[in-house]
Structure 1
Amino acid sequence: MLLELNQRNLTLIQLVGFLLLHRDNMESFKEEKQGLSAQVWPTGPGSWTQVSCPCCMSSQVEPLVLIQLSEEIQPVTKKWIMSRIAAVEKDGGAQLLAHPGEDMSSDLIVVSAPRCTLLRATEDLGLCKPYRDGSMAAFSYQDRHSFSNIDDMQQFLTLAERQYIVKYELESLRALEDQRIPGVPEPQCNLKARENIFQKLEKAGVIQNVFPLHDQKRLRDLGREWYSKRKLWGQPLDSIQAYFGGTVAFYFSFLDFYTWALVPPAVLGVLLTLLMPSPVRSMAEGQELSGSPETDAKAGMEDPDHPSVSAHMVQAVFSMLWSTIFMELWKRRSSALSHRWGTLHLAERFAEPRPGFRGELGTNPVTGRVEPLFPEWQRNLRVGLVSFPVVGLFLGLVVLGMAGFYYFEGFISQLHQDSGGSFITTALLYLPSMAHIVYTNVLGNIYRNVALQLTEWENHREETSFQNHHTTKVLVFTFFNYFAVLFHIAFFKQDLPLLRKRLASLLIITQLINQFTELVVPFLVDWFFNTPEKEVKEDDPEADKLQAQGSLPTFPGLFAEYIELLVQFGYLSLFSCVYPLTAVLLLLNNVTEIRADAFKICKLFRKPFAAPVANMGVWQAAFEVLGFISVMSNCWLLLLSPRVKEFTLEAGLSTRNVLLFAIMVEHVLIVVKLILAFMIPDEPEWVKIDREKIEYHSLKALNQQKH
């Protein structure tokens, strides 16, 4: 979480600086937000490129995507690009519609998609759509007339889907033969047969940006429903999915579900804090742990008011069960959402090379296309000989910071004792934790950049492979960076009061920083650039209004948001038994987090593309792994509970037998988690039946095509 907060600080600082440099463009964009409502442009000579298909002809066209070209673009080059965009597939084109913006000398190309291109891409992507009987079915172009709203593309496909299809078709542009790009200097102008045209233009600097366009009326309506209403719960998930796509909708759905799921542990934490005094807290307030199990257990027995079962034990067992039930219920909700949004049956497609992929041009043995090739053994060599040691080096720096924290902690504690517990030294007791927090923040930001550069240097061909390697690097470091000290305190020092103090410091400090970066800074940025005195300029050219959207910063993605939630989940599931109010603090943070994240994506960044997705992807697996680790963590923390130590002393159990007992309990709890996971199906019964129906109808349609 701390890494994410620091990342957010840097992102917001960069955002403020960026906006200051582009204030004029921002003003134009804000005027455009108020004045531009023309989401369809008329067709005619000299405007949109023409289509030959009768069913795709229309008097008005919806602008979907904007391509920003180099300022030095030659009209002949722009005309050639537009011809490639509009050409039919058999001629190597994308079968899209292109508009020159203001004129052929401008550096803009507005792109849309005709009906048939949208429908064929819908089938290629494997999207499911409502059938004429109301059920969901995998879309088939041959059977297109059997689907609902087939004649209205704005009803049949969401805005996010239409815009992603345009991107999908643009990225599929390939040269049919060796040729030259007119108006581009050597050697960037040379295109080889089957080479990706858009990647070539981006590498040559001809294409600067490609991004989807906002529908300002829909964005305002979504904003009012999403973050402007004065309500704590509920989000317009269907509207979010329709406008921003499944990637954004799944994140906000998970954040909403997770926030609701924090209510039971928050209520339990408050009850345990008020009604069941924790031996950990009592010993922390009355005396320090000696480190000896016998002495610690006696300390817990000295107070006759302590119940036989402590808050520590109740919270530990609850955390293990809660994490399992929460993830299983989320998987059910996720499958229901993917069914509702038509992404339950996405098609597996052969991945195209990612834009950053480099290599010698050659023939791909799978597709027969000419594309960059890079030997797998070279990539593995880079991973094994460079990436692994660099990641290990940063993990060593985490250990070095942890050693410094312990040294500083011991020094301040000794100073506190020598001074007789003065007010100043009492305040200084939290200084080592704060200093270590700053250290982990700085180290985390350095590592974030290094991890991205390492993954780029590894030169992965597919985007999914790149994202998986990058995510794995960041997750390993994040887990080690944030939890190493807590695990060391719990497993090796066995100092529960110190663990509680450390966890409280992390939660309180990070929540304060998070509230500032999530609420105050975005509000100030928006207020500074959105003064009510600004007047709408009705006579602004349409191209200027579109150009203003490109002045906004690129949306940084949801990587940082998921990392924050993962660290939160780790604090709660792994260590909340020593600080029951963990869920309360997280709940208060997330209630505001939902609205703040919604505000930022709607108003402060350029609209992102969103590919159709069926779930959270690798993040779901990361949360499940943390759930299993929580069993080991909580079992060990149970061993440190004074009540358990009291029981082992009375029973006369040796240390060896206690460890064996703990291992047995751990295995029993893992079996209980597995049984719970088995008892709670990953998808509701109705979703399972509908999914099998979709698979059956798809297989039946395929057999009919063969015959």
Structure 2
Amino acid sequence: MASLGEEASDQIKVKILAQDSWTKVSCPCCVSDRVEPLVLIWLTDKVQPLTRKWLISLIEDSKRHGGAALLAHPGDDECGDVIVVSASRCNLLKATEDLGLCKKYQDGDMIPFSYQDRDNFSNVDDMTEFLTLAERQYIVKNELDSLQAQKKQKIPGIGDATGVLQAWENVCQKLVKAGVIKDIFPLHDQQKLKELGKKWYSGKQIWGQPLDEIHSYFGGTVAYYFSFLDFYTWALVPSAFLGLFLTFLMPGGGSSVELGDVEDDDGPSVSGHMVQAVFSMLWSTLFMEFWKRRSSSLSYRWGTLQLSEGFAEPRPSFHGTLGINPVTGRMEPLFPEWKRQLRVGLVSVPIVGLFMGLVVLGMTGFYYGEALAKGFHQDSDSWFSKGLLYLPSMVHIVYTNMLGNVYSTVAMQLTEWENHREESSFQNHHTTKVLLFTFINNFAVLFHIAFYKQDLPMLRKRLVSLLILTQLLNQFTEVVVPFIVDRFLSDPQKDQPEDEIEGDQLRAQTSLPPYPGLFSEYIELLLQFGYLSLFSSVYPLTAVFLLLNNVTEIRGDSYKICKLFRKPFSAPVSDMGVWQTAFEVLGFVSVMSNCWLLLLSPRVQEFCLEGGISSKNILLFAILVEHVLILLKMILAFMIPDEPDWVRIKREQMEFHSMQALVRQKL
């Protein structure tokens, strides 16, 4: 990081806020005393002044002539490797309507913004109040991504074949491939970031996060993650108390937790194991249903209840035959939906299935190798044979890691090849592929121990070891590593005085690494949810471990995104997308998992043997209980609406208002 900071130090020596260097606007309502720097385009060292000037003119030019109609600041540094971009008021307002964002109307209600009716919306004259910082920066990114060549042309200053821009090819994507653009990222507002940090990770409260401030500064995707993390952590409290009660306070609780010990006849007829299993199934259902209600409330509050991504510009890497979009009437690449579905069904699904099979094959090979090593050790009983006992585990770890790395590359390439038009569709398909692999890779061994070997004591030991290892690893990565990085490895210029010139603040931001995204954070929560909902009946203290971990997780994640990385772009979203579906699927699988764990419980089996119940009747009873609980889960999901009544009414009012506005336009 230090070397990167030194390199940037030589490159960026400019006071960005020089007013006379910004693009001049002709619209009277867009004239401002100060232009707000929103996005930085960081160019590589070899960029020619001619190329840089051409890119600035393209950013500034009107959309009618193929430009982005944005405001650009060229900088005054000698190397010319930085372009700062902003947007005028009118362009921000038009983009707000295109995105389908809801804003506060003069009567106080949130309704979809209309540019023609803009004067009747609150704070419409002040963009810093009307739009959040994250929304303004995302709009600039969206406009930059929409830059497409109107015709085949040569990029000035690039002499080789990489400088040829094909008709309707994405400009920014081409410039990245050609080695012109190093990175594009939103700029931090140091004052706002400092105030947010005081409320977020520097405060004394254990729970409770400034979600509105997080949404305003970092955007929808980040705000939804931290909102879900906060909601999930609170939801762990009753499960943790139940686990403590069953383990330490319930009569016979110790014997019910120790599944291999069923000699205590003084315990209750319904063991703590059974109580925990039923509770886990009901808890997972209620948790997801109440989260959906919480999510819809946030969506209304943050103005994303009626996003219109389908009418937005295509993804930068989307390609197809040039034509007119029948919905929007705009000229853009078109790609038939049937062809995309064909690619998914005939290519992507079989390849993903092949990798799932390789995971199962690796697990089978591990157990086979483990059996061979144990047999060889029993025959020879030497130091060499004792060392071989660890070989199957080591080979399996190396195999799964290599397979995971290969699969992550294949999953990304497959999703790109499927050619999705919208960014959300691309992310959903990519996430689904990775989730399937992650689920099989992390839970296959647990399912094998539970339902094939039917060794619940081994399952309990495996689960405890996973929880302890995860706890220690998370504490190290969430607390120790961020402290070391921030204290000893970060750029010493990261803490700039408030009166420091803007160029030095940019220098500090370019020295930080890009934010890796929330994918791994969601995966971690999904694995937690799986351990709790699927297998906590064999170890009731699971929720206690997860609760302790998540208390530090909130602070650690917030500290990292504020202090250790560049600010990420964050799109307006109305929910967690495919992640919400993944949690719901796990909740459904938990019904079957817990029913069969109950069937395998030594206490239940002992009770059935004492009652003279045959194995066939036990199986039929388990299937009956499973179906009853699934039906109960569906009834609960049906009885608890996904939206509170007030959100449903507001949504219907939005639809009515939109219909009335359309009628007025036709008149």
TM superposition score normalised by structure 2: 0.90
Root mean square deviation of aligned Cα: 3.5
| 1-structure distance, mates of 2:638, 2:6 | 58
Partner residue of 1:703 out of 659, 663, 666:
663
Q: 2:294 maps to what in 1?
A: 333
Percent identity reads: 68
- Where does 1:544-623 land on structure 2 (aligned, <5 Å)? 545-623=505-583
Q: Is the 8 A contact 1:180 1:189 kept in 2?
A: yes
Q: Which moved more, 1:640-649 or 1:148-157?
A: 640-649
Aligned residue for 2:206, secondary structure, equals: coil
Partner residue of 2:614 out of 631, 654, 659:
654
| 1-structure distance, mates of 2:81, 2:2 | 23
Q: Is the 8 A contact 2:257 2:540 kept in 1?
A: no
Structure 1 residue 281: Cα displacement: 4.3
Q: 1:645 to 1:201 in 2, by over 3 A?
A: same
Q: Is the 8 A contact 1:48 1:97 kept in 2?
A: yes
Structure 1 residue 529: Cα displacement: 3.3
Aligned residue for 1:211, secondary structure, equals: strand
| 1-structure distance, mates of 2:494, 2:228 | 38
Structure 2: give runs of 5+ residues left out of the alignment: 380-385
Partner residue of 1:85 out of 59, 62, 70:
59
Amino acid at match of 1:611: A
| 1-structure distance, mates of 2:492, 2:6 | 16
Q: 1:620 to 1:531 in 2, by over 3 A?
A: closer
Q: 1:376 to 1:328 in 2, by over 3 A?
A: closer
Partner residue of 2:628 out of 655, 668, 672:
668
Q: 2:234 maps to what in 1?
A: 260
| 1-structure distance, mates of 2:165, 2:61 | 17
Q: 2:450 maps to what in 1?
A: 490
Structure 1 residue 264: Cα displacement: 0.5
Q: 1:98 to 1:191 in 2, by over 3 A?
A: same
Q: 1:533 to 1:626 in 2, by over 3 A?
A: closer
Amino acid at match of 2:621: F
* 1:163 partnered with 2:123: no
Partner residue of 2:99 out of 106, 113, 125:
125
Partner residue of 2:17 out of 41, 64, 84:
41
- Where does 1:214-293 land on structure 2 (aligned, <5 Å)? 214-276=188-250, 277-279=253-255, 281-282=257-258, 284=260
Structure 1 residue 458: Cα displacement: 4.9
Structure 1 residue 452: Cα displacement: 2.7
Q: Which moved more, 1:110-119 or 1:198-207?
A: 198-207
Q: 1:387 to 1:354 in 2, by over 3 A?
A: same
Q: Is the 8 A contact 1:357 1:372 kept in 2?
A: yes
Partner residue of 1:98 out of 39, 60, 72:
72
Structure 1 residue 21: Cα displacement: 4.0
* 1:474 partnered with 2:420: no
Q: 1:370 to 1:522 in 2, by over 3 A?
A: same
Of structures 1 and 2, the one scoring higher in RCO (CA 8 A, sep 6+) is: 1
Partner residue of 1:319 out of 280, 298, 318:
280
| 2-structure distance, mates of 1:264, 1:415 | 48
Deviations along 1:159-178, whole A, 9 cap, x unmatched? 00000111111222234455
Q: Is the 8 A contact 1:102 1:543 kept in 2?
A: no
Structure 1 residue 85: Cα displacement: 1.6
Aligned residue for 1:308, secondary structure, equals: coil
Q: Is the 8 A contact 1:112 1:166 kept in 2?
A: yes
* 1:309 partnered with 2:260: no
Structure 1 residue 104: Cα displacement: 8.1
* 1:112 partnered with 2:86: yes
| 1-structure distance, mates of 2:91, 2:555 | 36
Structure 1 residue 118: Cα displacement: 0.7
Deviations along 1:593-634, whole A, 9 cap, x unmatched? 111111111111111111100000000000000010000001
Q: 2:383 maps to what in 1?
A: none
| 2-structure distance, mates of 1:21, 1:169 | 32
Q: 1:630 to 1:429 in 2, by over 3 A?
A: farther
Amino acid at match of 2:271: S
Amino acid at match of 2:538: V
Structure 1 residue 430: Cα displacement: 11
Amino acid at match of 1:402: M
Tell me the number of residue pairs that the alignment of Structure 1 and Structure 2 aligns: 660
Deviations along 1:436-472, whole A, 9 cap, x unmatched? 6676556434433443344345555543343223212
| 2-structure distance, mates of 1:224, 1:175 | 45
| 2-structure distance, mates of 1:346, 1:535 | 37
Q: 1:538 to 1:212 in 2, by over 3 A?
A: closer
Q: Is the 8 A contact 1:115 1:153 kept in 2?
A: yes
Q: Is the 8 A contact 2:103 2:111 kept in 1?
A: yes
| 1-structure distance, mates of 2:55, 2:172 | 9
Deviations along 1:326-372, whole A, 9 cap, x unmatched? 0001001101111111111112434544334567x644675787766
Q: 1:279 to 1:496 in 2, by over 3 A?
A: farther
- Where does 1:356-505 land on structure 2 (aligned, <5 Å)? 356-357=317-318, 362-363=322-323, 366=326, 387-388=348-349, 390-403=351-364, 406=367, 440=400, 443-505=403-465
| 2-structure distance, mates of 1:634, 1:65 | 50
Q: Which moved more, 1:621-630 or 1:432-441?
A: 432-441
Q: Is the 8 A contact 2:37 2:86 kept in 1?
A: yes
Q: Is the 8 A contact 1:175 1:195 kept in 2?
A: yes
| 2-structure distance, mates of 1:368, 1:147 | 28
Q: Is the 8 A contact 1:28 1:548 kept in 2?
A: no
| 1-structure distance, mates of 2:318, 2:405 | 25
Deviations along 1:551-593, whole A, 9 cap, x unmatched? 3211111111111101100000000000000000000001001
Q: Is the 8 A contact 2:496 2:505 kept in 1?
A: no
Aligned residue for 2:140, secondary structure, equals: helix
* 1:686 partnered with 2:646: yes
Structure 1 residue 393: Cα displacement: 4.4
| 1-structure distance, mates of 2:137, 2:278 | 47
Amino acid at match of 1:233: W
Q: Is the 8 A contact 2:17 2:502 kept in 1?
A: no
Amino acid at match of 2:489: F
| 2-structure distance, mates of 1:192, 1:434 | 50
Aligned residue for 1:625, secondary structure, equals: helix
Amino acid at match of 2:56: M
Structure 1: give runs of 5+ residues left out of the alignment: 1-18, 287-299, 419-424
Q: 1:121 to 1:536 in 2, by over 3 A?
A: closer
Q: Which moved more, 1:238-247 or 1:465-474?
A: 465-474
Amino acid at match of 2:176: E
Structure 1 residue 392: Cα displacement: 3.9
| 2-structure distance, mates of 1:126, 1:97 | 23
Q: 1:630 to 1:535 in 2, by over 3 A?
A: closer
Q: Which moved more, 1:539-548 or 1:303-312?
A: 539-548
TM superposition score normalised by structure 1: 0.85
Q: Is the 8 A contact 1:128 1:343 kept in 2?
A: yes
Amino acid at match of 1:79: K
Q: 2:44 maps to what in 1?
A: 70
